[in-house]
Amino acid sequence: MEKTKKSTESLPTCRAPGLPNCEPEDTHISVVEQVSFRKIEPPIPPKTLHCDSIDRVDELEDADVEGEEEEEQEASASQSTKPEELVELEQIEAELLEQKNAVDLIGEEIALDMPECPSDDSCVNMELELQRGKVHPHIYKLQQENHLLRQQLSKAQLSCKAIDLSLKYLRNSLCRDLKAGAILRRRLDELNSFKLNVEHEQVLCRQRYNHLQEVKYDWVDCKAYLKESAEYTQREIKKIVRRADYTQPHLDALKLLKGAKRMAMDLHFDLTNRMTRLGQRIGSVAGCRESKNMRRFNSDISLFIKRNEHLLVKEKH
């Protein structure tokens, strides 16, 4: 007894995180009387499981005396009732399976998705709590406050970082909103200018429409104008001659002109010869005047010959 008490008192306290806040207390451990090892056989299973629980504490106490007798009786009973036990085991297994299924259904119906509670508190220093009885109360209080302040400082630093990050996101969002606002303002200005242009074009369209209403053609006038244009076109078409129809008359006219020019040349030479002979015979003043007129006539004829020289040359060839 004394050895077991000393061994339990010498055990160190557990300092694992997550333990409740408690102080080491003097605990009294009851000593269980050690008994010698003995084999305890299970009881004979009943046919059904619908029965109350049986407290077998008294039977275990009396098992030291009657153990051997029960073993002999159970051995003899097991040999005589083996086929009956097989039937009872099958019934028990079936009943156990049915009860297991029923328990599973009940568990599914009453199951709740509850979040698990946190195992420990981050604001509590377990080492300080475990050493609370060994430290002066004022020192313990200061250490506890120091630990609390450190926890608050770390949380404040995290909050500061989160606030800085939030401010950064807000600045970026503000810049995006300003850019979007500038784009929308520019589009609004474009819309206003488009509206003014549409109004101006509307006025011009109205003016053009009014002008066309004043100067537009009536159907009767348009029909008369088209008829007159068609008649004028037909008259102009009648004046036009096709090239195929014009070629042969053109050649015939050229032949006639060449013949007339040749005859005029022959007549010219004949007249020239006669006039020269006549001038030689007449030697008076009157003859001189006539010679002047003849010279003028000869000059006109020579000019005509020069103009039509290419025709005369071709004809000679």
- Name residue 67's amino acid: G
Mean pLDDT of the chain: 71
3-state SS assignment for residue 51:
coil
Whether residue 140 contacts residue 132, with contact meaning beta carbons closer than 8 Å, is answered with yes
- What integer pLDDT is reported at residue 316 of this predicted model? 44
Q: How far apart are CA 120 and CA 2, in angstroms?
A: 36
pTM over 0.75: no
Residues lower than pLDDT 50 in the chain: 1-14, 16-35, 37, 46-57, 60, 65, 284-285, 287, 314-317
- What integer pLDDT is reported at residue 309 of this predicted model? 65
Whether residue 45 contacts residue 88, with contact meaning beta carbons closer than 8 Å, is answered with yes
- What integer pLDDT is reported at residue 160 of this predicted model? 92
Q: How far apart are CA 111 and CA 114, in angstroms?
A: 9
Whether residue 262 contacts residue 312, with contact meaning beta carbons closer than 8 Å, is answered with yes
Whether residue 41 contacts residue 74, with contact meaning beta carbons closer than 8 Å, is answered with yes
pLDDT tens for 105-130 read 887 767 655 555 555 556 666 777 77
- Where do the structural domains in the chain lie, given as residue ranges? 35-111, 124-190
Question: CB neighbours of 19 closer than 8 A, spacing ≥ 6?
Answer: 120, 126
pLDDT tens for 230-288 read 999 999 888 887 777 778 888 888 889 888 888 888 888 888 888 888 877 775 445 45
Place of tokens 């698990």: 116
Question: CB neighbours of 88 closer than 8 A, spacing ≥ 6?
Answer: 45, 47
Which of 262, 263, 295, 289 is CA-nearest to residue 276?
Answer: 295
Whether residue 258 contacts residue 315, with contact meaning beta carbons closer than 8 Å, is answered with yes
